Structure 1
Amino acid sequence: MITWKEDYNTGVQEIDEQHQDLFDYINQLDQCIRDEEYEGARIEIILNFLQMFCATHFCLEEVCMRQRACPVQEKNKKAHDKFLSFYSEFQDKYRTTNNKELLIRKLREALETWLVNHILKIDMHIKKCNNVNKAVY
């Protein structure tokens, strides 16, 4: 189980709320693993959420960093692109494998590691970049 900590707050309420939503979905994935449920409706809801989350949340972060002229905005974009590639590859494998348990367990581990590292090493820069430039979109 992954627990939200105040240390993960970026100072942008919408980003922090979305990160907390993602923590909740990772915990739901934990519950599926405990229940030995590696396919079906619950897993599909989680996987669909992750796909939607990536598309919308990453865009929000990138816009916030661009508006604040954050020096790590390019690094952030590259990290997002790399994660999207990982997730796309996961989806392809998940659709075709008979060993969904192994893939779901690897996804769960990768999500926590990636998310915590990304928040602490990249997203935290948003706090330091308060120069909001309303003209940049």
Structure 2
Amino acid sequence: MPLFQWSGDYSVGVGAMDRDHQKLFDLLNKLHDAMIEGKATPLVADIIKELLDYTKYHFEAEEKLMEKVSYPGLSEQKNAHQKFIGSIEDYKDKADKGLSAFLSTSMSIFLTDWLKSHIGVMDKKYQKDMNAQGIT
């Protein structure tokens, strides 16, 4: 059962970013399922790496779009993105050390809360700027 389901409420009105966000939700659910099912530590570590890699890819693409439209909240977004990546890297380090059994609850809560607040609040703010410049 998914931990966190995508819904239209999280749409930021930019198709490419919505698809990326859906992929992040899918990776979060994949990670959560692996931890709940007690999958081996290497599998959990691999999923965390996949989540980290995709997050970096997404943030780079999102920030490029914000730069393109001269989005005034870009600096705030970059700071939030850097902090998030740092947190995921910390979780990855723990998983790489075989501590994934201790990550399940805290990591799931952190990721879910962050995605809900970041996408649902911060990212929604750039919709008007992007849509006004034809990015939908």
Mapped pair 1:19 → 2:11? no
Contiguous gaps of at least 5 residues in structure 2: none
Count residues in correspondence: 132
- What percent identity do the matched residue pairs reach? 28
In structure 1, the partner of 2:100 is 100
In structure 2, the partner of 1:31 is 33
In structure 2, the partner of 1:89 is 90
CA contact (8 A) 2:41 2:95 kept: no
Q: CA deviation at 1:131?
A: 4.3
CA contact (8 A) 1:9 1:16 kept: yes
Q: C-alpha deviations, 1:85-114, integer Å up to 9, x for none?
A: 1122222222225x4211233222211111
Post-superposition, which runs of at least 4 consecutive aligned residues in structure 1 deviate over 6 A?
Answer: none
Q: How does 1:1-137 map to 2 (within 5 A)?
A: 1-37=3-39, 39-41=41-43, 43-97=44-98, 99-129=99-129, 130-132=131-133
Q: CA deviation at 1:79?
A: 0.2
The alpha-carbon distance between structure 1 residues 3 and 88, as it changes in their structure 2 partners (threshold 3 A), is: same
1:69 partner SS: coil
CA contact (8 A) 1:3 1:23 kept: yes
Letter in 1 for 2:22: Q
Letter in 2 for 1:61: E
CA contact (8 A) 2:71 2:126 kept: yes
Letter in 1 for 2:84: F
Q: Quote the RMSD (CA, aligned, Å).
A: 2.0
CA contact (8 A) 1:10 1:123 kept: yes
